[in-house]
């Protein structure tokens, strides 16, 4: 089965590029840029809050355009080796602009890696810009405006970081403007968050997102399940990530969503931190649920259908 999963052409829709920073590259960039990291291990955590501390600290080694290039290109090489043919990658511009790194430095490095990955590895990708929900909505709006000169390089916007006390509704105006500017919309609705179902409801019904990141608590509301099915909204699940920030992979919920015909997909989230890329995530759920080949193919078809790939790329990777 693992061989089948490895050979199956795969798409990844929920991947934070800053979460692909492996310890080796992090330490090399730290030395190159003269950045001192805390001696506390960044890759040792037990919940979302402690994960996010290490995640933001890790990013501090990313300073110059080639650093962003190397980060993204290393991910693309790894993904291509696992059979990923299409990836939509999140980036967190505020994790960098808040440290004085220009928006252009970040996106130019990522973009150059995307073009090289396309040319050298045959891997297609698109960028999704995430706003950090624990910062003020005004900073998200300023970031949205800052992105407009690079609009052609960004397919959509998302929302991540600490969800507690930061509901989707806080960013309603930002997402409305993003929609006006032509961006597609997604948002994290993390597993077992406080008011998880209300957050999913806000995202789907009030904001009108095109996709939901995580969102497994939707199972607690059958009306919402019916609505995402009706609209064909994809849910990007991250099984191994769940094991780190909640109480398990939530594969039982994946099984229920799959059986209900919801467009669920399997993704890696922050693979350098959770030590599982998309292949290992798929192997994990295959083993836990005894998924058949047909079910694995359904997951991949879901990913293509829920993706924001342009028609030509869709045809090529289907």
Q: How far is the CB of 158 from Zn ion (least distance, A)?
A: 8
Binding residues for Zn ion, rule: CB under 5 A, are 269
Partner whose binding site includes residue 85, from ligand ES4, Zn ion, none (CB under 5 to 8 Å by kind): none
Rounded Cα distance between 115 and 102, Å, is 21
Q: Looking at the DSSP assignment, which residues form a beta bridge with residue 12?
A: 87
Output 45 or 76, the one with its CB closest to ligand ES4. 45
Q: Is 269 annotated as a binding residue?
A: yes
Q: Looking at the DSSP assignment, which residues form a beta bridge with residue 128?
A: 90, 156
Closest CA to 151 of 119, 101, 103: 103
Q: How far is the CB of 118 from ligand ES4 (least distance, A)?
A: 25
Output 19 or 93, the one with its CB closest to ligand ES4. 19
First-to-last C-alpha distance (Å) of the chain = 20
Q: Is 124 annotated as a binding residue?
A: no
Partner whose binding site includes residue 88, from ligand ES4, Zn ion, none (CB under 5 to 8 Å by kind): none
Q: What residue number has its CB nearest to ligand ES4? A: 160
Rounded Cα distance between 184 and 303, Å, is 16
Partner whose binding site includes residue 19, from ligand ES4, Zn ion, none (CB under 5 to 8 Å by kind): ligand ES4
Q: How far is the CB of 274 from ligand ES4 (least distance, A)?
A: 8
Binding residues for ligand ES4, rule: CB under 6 A, are 16, 19, 48, 55, 160-161, 188, 190, 241, 245, 269-270
Task: Map tokens 């989230």 to a residue.
Answer: 269
Q: How far is the CB of 51 from ligand ES4 (least distance, A)?
A: 6
Q: Is 214 annotated as a binding residue?
A: no
Rounded Cα distance between 279 and 261, Å, is 23
Contact residues for 238 (Cβ-Cβ < 8 A; gap 6+):
14, 214, 266, 267, 268, 269, 274, 281
Rounded Cα distance between 239 and 254, Å, is 9
Q: How far is the CB of 159 from Zn ion (least distance, A)?
A: 10
Partner whose binding site includes residue 124, from Zn ion, ligand ES4, none (CB under 5 to 8 Å by kind): none
Task: Map tokens 């032509």 to a residue.
Answer: 182
Rounded Cα distance between 298 and 287, Å, is 16
Element containing residue 69 per DSSP (H, E) = helix 65-81
3-class secondary-structure state, position 98 = coil
Q: How far is the CB of 242 from ligand ES4 (least distance, A)?
A: 9
Output 160 or 210, the one with its CB closest to ligand ES4. 160
Rounded Cα distance between 179 and 156, Å, is 9
Phi and psi angles of residue 10, each rounded to the nearest 5 degrees, phi first = -120, 150
Element containing residue 288 per DSSP (H, E) = helix 278-289
Q: Is 270 annotated as a binding residue?
A: yes
Partner whose binding site includes residue 199, from Zn ion, ligand ES4, none (CB under 5 to 8 Å by kind): none
Rounded Cα distance between 304 and 318, Å, is 7
3-class secondary-structure state, position 151 = helix
Q: How far is the CB of 14 from Zn ion (least distance, A)?
A: 6
Partner whose binding site includes residue 236, from Zn ion, ligand ES4, none (CB under 5 to 8 Å by kind): none
Which residues are known binding-site members for Zn(2+)?
14, 16, 188, 269
Binding-site entries for substrate: 270
Mark the binding-site residues, compressed into ranges: 14, 16, 188, 269-270
């Amino acid at each position: 089965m693992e061989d089948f999963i490895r050979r199956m052409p795969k798409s990844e829709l929920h991947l934070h590029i800053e979460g692909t920073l492996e310890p080796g590259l992090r330490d090399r960039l730290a030395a190159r840029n003269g950045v001192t990291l805390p001696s506390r291990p960044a890759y040792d955590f037990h919940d979302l809050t402690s994960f996010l501390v290490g995640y933001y600290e890790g990013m501090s080694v990313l300073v110059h355009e080639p650093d962003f290039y190397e980060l993204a290109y290393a991910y693309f090489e790894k993904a291509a080796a696992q059979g990923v043919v299409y990836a939509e990658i999140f980036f967190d511009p505020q994790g960098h602009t808040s440290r004085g790194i220009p928006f252009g430095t970040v996106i130019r490095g990522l973009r150059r890696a995307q073009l090289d990955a396309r040319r050298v590895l045959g891997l297609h990708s698109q960028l999704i810009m995430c706003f950090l929900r624990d910062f003020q909505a005004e900073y998200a709006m300023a970031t949205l405006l800052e992105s407009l000169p690079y609009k052609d390089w960004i397919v959509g916007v998302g929302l991540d970081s600490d969800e507690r006390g930061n509901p989707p509704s806080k960013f309603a105006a930002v997402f409305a403007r993003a929609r006006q500017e032509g961006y597609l919309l997604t948002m994290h609705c993390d597993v077992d968050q406080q008011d998880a179902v209300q957050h999913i409801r806000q995202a789907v019904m009030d904001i009108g997102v095109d996709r939901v990141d995580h969102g497994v608590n939707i199972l607690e509301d059958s009306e919402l399940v019916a609505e995402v099915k009706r609209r064909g909204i994809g849910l990007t699940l991250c099984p191994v990530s769940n094991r780190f920030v909640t109480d398990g992979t939530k594969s039982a919920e994946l099984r229920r969503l799959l059986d209900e015909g919801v467009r669920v997909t399997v993704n890696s989230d922050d693979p350098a931190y959770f030590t599982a890329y998309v292949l290992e995530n798929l192997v994990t759920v295959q083993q836990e649920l005894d998924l058949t080949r047909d079910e694995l193919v359904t997951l991949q078809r879901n990913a293509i259908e829920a993706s924001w790939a342009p028609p030509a790329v869709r045809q090529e990777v289907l």
